[in-house]
A = this chain, B = another copy of it.
């Protein structure tokens, strides 16, 4: 829907913070944070952008309060505020973007495209989703070039998805030789989730398959290392870890993890 915001009407930016460091925050995201009167987010992420929050109304909340944050953000925007709802990584990938639209639909709030606005008055709430550097983009860059060919991203959290669906996806991705990005490799309700995933993958893939593990990419406490599928263990990981499993062509070289861009050795170097 075309946007025609009224003067003084609120608006909502869904802001991707990227991996966390200011070096990877896009100018568009920084501008939205500058313009916003109200910033809403998970406390851990707000701490990462503390210098940008001076003088703003900050509404922080804890984990698993996503719906509450979305409702608050939409309510404040409807009252006339410029609201930035922040999300780590890319807001469109396991982030806050989808929930905002779900909430607006359920509340009967008409929404229009905040990027495509005209000058006339209107009633719809302008929303802009600002894309960012996702966690797997950041993780891959630290490891070298593991995502260079087709890949699948799978969250191992069974909080809102049945394990049978997750398992089916692991099997499909392994059998079709995708590079695989695993999110949420430790679940509160299922601490052995990575070991279970590894067992599924090993039905289809060699134990020598290179694996990269990245913890807190581009943040304080960053650690990353490479291993193989047979040696991958769940003891060192948590919800801030992303794991990248190579395809059949992926190789390790001097500590780097590299996936060639194709299967046909058409090029000579």
Give the interface of A toward B (CB within 8 A): 1, 16, 18-19, 22-28, 31, 67, 71, 90-95, 97-103, 105-107, 110-111, 113, 115, 129-134, 137-138, 140-142, 144-155, 159-162, 165-166, 168-169, 171-173, 175-178, 253-256, 258-264, 266-267, 269
Contact = CB atoms under 8 A, between A and B. Distances in A.
A269 B100 CA distance: 11
Given A22-B27, A92-B145, A165-B177, 17 more contacts: A23-B26, A24-B27, A26-B26, A27-B27, A67-B267, A92-B146, A94-B148, A94-B149, A98-B145, A98-B148, A101-B256, A111-B254, A111-B256, A113-B255, A149-B161, A172-B173, A172-B178
A106 B175 CA distance: 30
Contact of A26 (B18, B105, B144, B175): B18
16 contacts: A23-B26, A24-B131, A92-B140, A94-B261, A97-B145, A98-B145, A98-B259, A98-B260, A99-B261, A103-B269, A115-B142, A150-B152, A152-B152, A159-B262, A162-B264, A168-B176
A263 B155 CA distance: 13
A-B pairs with lowest CB-CB distance, top 4: A160-B262, A98-B148, A172-B176, A98-B145
Contacts of A165: 177, 263
Contacts of A113: 255
Contacts of A111: 254, 256
A90 B135 CA distance: 12
A115 to B, nearest CB: 7
Contacts of A24: 26-28, 131
A1 B254 contact: yes
Among A93, A103, A130, chain B packs the most CB atoms within 10 A around the CB of A93
Given A142-B115, A261-B99, A148 B92 contact: yes
Contact of A176 (B22, B91, B149, B169): B169
Given A1-B255, A98-B260, A269-B102, A150 B169 contact: yes
B132 A137 contact: yes
A144 B107 contact: no
Contacts of A258: 98, 101-102, 105
Contact of A154 (B92, B150, B255): B150
A24 B29 CA distance: 8
Contacts of A172: 172-173, 175-176, 178
Nearest to A263: B161
Contacts of A129: 140-142, 144-145
